[in-house]
């Protein structure tokens, strides 16, 4: 199966221009079997009003996922929930936990980033360090936490320099970490990354086990399927 692992919608991300419905349609057209919606989280570039009470914030933040899933169910594209946690420009893709779990856990935005990474994994979720070597104005410091993440995103379609992906691969290889890839698309029709799996994935809860057991059998890089 081909899965998109890193994607933004205008329902949840201030920097995205495509609706979740458009994303689901174009992702299917691009030949994917499934996609994760990973909008920018509370301390990142979310478009959901941070003054809302937590449960309402979490409900509105999850709308990109629900809207994409509605279309996905109709056209035969699996849609799973995730989000992209931001720590001063360092981004940690978070999977394996449901919108209901998020609504019940307001402490996710109160604890320190270090505590956050531990909390998510203790709750059964998993963390992928997104584009760890990207250098942009909003990245204040490159931070590496190999013991607190489950995998490294070694290809990111939003990186402006190839060397950022090359360095991420070097990082994953030198620490013996699992590897993922994602388009980081904010506009419909542009899908360049993703993962290949030889097993079924039906919900976000399945992804951590697939990563840890070696169920990712290849990566999509610059639109090309590259088996390991
Ligand atoms: Zn963005
Ligand atoms: Zn992103």
Q: What is the pLDDT of residue 4?
A: 98
User: What's this model's pTM, rounded to 2 decimal places?
Assistant: 0.97
Average pLDDT over residues 12-19: 97
Q: Report the share of the chain in percent with pLDDT over 90.
A: 99
The CATH number linked to 38 is: 3.20.20.140
* Ligand 2 mean position, distance from CA 56 (Å): 23
| Proportion of the chain above pLDDT 70, given as a percent | 100
3-class secondary-structure state, position 158: coil
Our count of domains for the chain comes to: 1
Question: Helix 63-75 to helix 54-61 angle, to the nearest 10 degrees?
Answer: 30
pLDDT, tens digit (0-9, with 9 covering 90-100), for 134-149: 999 999 999 999 999 9
Give the residue numbers spanning the domain of 66: 2-227
pLDDT for residue 218: 98
| Bridge partner list, 92 | 85, 129
pLDDT band at 189 (very low <50, low <70, confident <90, very high): confident
Ligand positioned closest to the Cα atom of 15: 1
Distance 132 CA to ligand 2 centre (A): 12
Ligand 2 centroid to Cα of residue 5, in Å, is 10
| Spatial contact of 69 and 59, defined as CB atoms under 8 Å apart | no
Which pLDDT score, from 0 to 100, does residue 188 have? 85
Taking ligand 2, which is a single-atom ion, which protein residues have CB atoms under 5 Å away?
Answer: 84, 184
């Amino acid at each position: 199966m081909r899965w998109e692992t890193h994607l933004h919608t205008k329902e949840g991300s201030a920097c995205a221009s495509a609706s979740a419905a458009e994303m689901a349609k174009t992702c299917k057209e691009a030949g994917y079997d499934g996609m994760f919606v990973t909008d920018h989280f509370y301390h990142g570039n979310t478009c959901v009003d941070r003054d809302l009470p937590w449960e309402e914030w979490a409900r509105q933040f999850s709308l990109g996922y629900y809207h994409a899933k509605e279309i996905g169910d109709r056209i035969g594209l699996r849609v799973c929930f995730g989000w992209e946690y931001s720590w001063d420009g360092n981004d940690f893709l978070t999977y394996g936990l449901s919108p209901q779990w998020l609504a019940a856990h307001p402490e996710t935005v109160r604890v320190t980033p270090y505590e956050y990474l531990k909390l998510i994994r203790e709750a059964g979720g998993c963390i992928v360090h997104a584009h760890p070597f990207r250098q942009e104005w909003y990245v204040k410091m490159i931070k590496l936490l190999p013991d607190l993440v489950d995998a490294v995103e070694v290809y990111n379609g939003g990186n402006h320099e190839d060397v950022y992906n090359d360095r991420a691969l070097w990082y994953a290889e030198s620490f013996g970490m699992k590897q993922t890839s994602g388009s980081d698309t904010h506009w419909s029709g542009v899908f360049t990354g993703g993962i290949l799996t030889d097993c079924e994935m039906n919900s976000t809860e399945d992804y951590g086990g697939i990563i840890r057991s070696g169920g990712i059998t290849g990566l999509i890089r610059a639109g090309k399927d590259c088996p390991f």
